[in-house]
Amino acid sequence: MKITIESPLPGEEDEIIIKMAELDDEVLKVIRRLKDGVSKDTMAVYANESILMVPIRDILYFDATDNRVFAYTRDNCFETRKKLFEIEELLANSSFLRISKNAIVNIKSIDHLSPEFNGRFIASLKNGEDIIISRGYVPELKKKLGIGK
């Protein structure tokens, strides 16, 4: 397969053109990653109008507030331009798991779990933050940890 990289003319927008007789699965995956701003190991996030590529392993959890989704790392919080369900789909089969209507957690970032007052659980993260695991998402977490039905 021939790969051509050209520099755009001044004032021209960056553009990727794929010329193929038939799109195979691998290329479709690449297109999706390009569109989503997610590679295998990094995710595009926004901070002060600039775009950063953050290693996914550094993200502790995603939280949706007022129709905006934020990615939390140990020391920072970045906005993503994706919906929570899109992130859930993108990071399926990884250590990320939906734990409530508005949060997805990297289960590797959980230090320990403890019971909350109404059948829910508190996930205490490595950075000292506590987040809620809703009752309805506990079976999925157990399954992921190999103790579910």
By CB under 8 A, name the binding residues for other proteins.
95, 100, 102, 107-108, 110, 112-122, 130-132, 134-136, 138, 141-142, 144-147
Tell me the closest approach of the beta carbon of residue 61 to other proteins, in angstroms.
13
CB 67 within 8 A of CB 81: no
* Nearer to other proteins (CB atom), residue 44 or residue 132: 132
Identify the residue whose tokens are 């109008």: 49
Q: Cα(147)–Cα(141) distance, rounded to whole angstroms?
A: 9
* Nearer to other proteins (CB atom), residue 32 or residue 108: 108
Q: Cα(54)–Cα(3) distance, rounded to whole angstroms?
A: 27
Stretch (H or E) spanning 47: strand 42-47
* Nearer to other proteins (CB atom), residue 47 or residue 127: 127
Whole-angstrom CA distances from 98 to 30, 50, 108 are 25, 27, 13
Tell me the closest approach of the beta carbon of residue 63 to other proteins, in angstroms.
9
Tell me the closest approach of the beta carbon of residue 5 to other proteins, in angstroms.
36
Tell me the closest approach of the beta carbon of residue 114 to other proteins, in angstroms.
5
Tell me the β-bridge partners of 51: 46
* Nearer to other proteins (CB atom), residue 32 or residue 142: 142
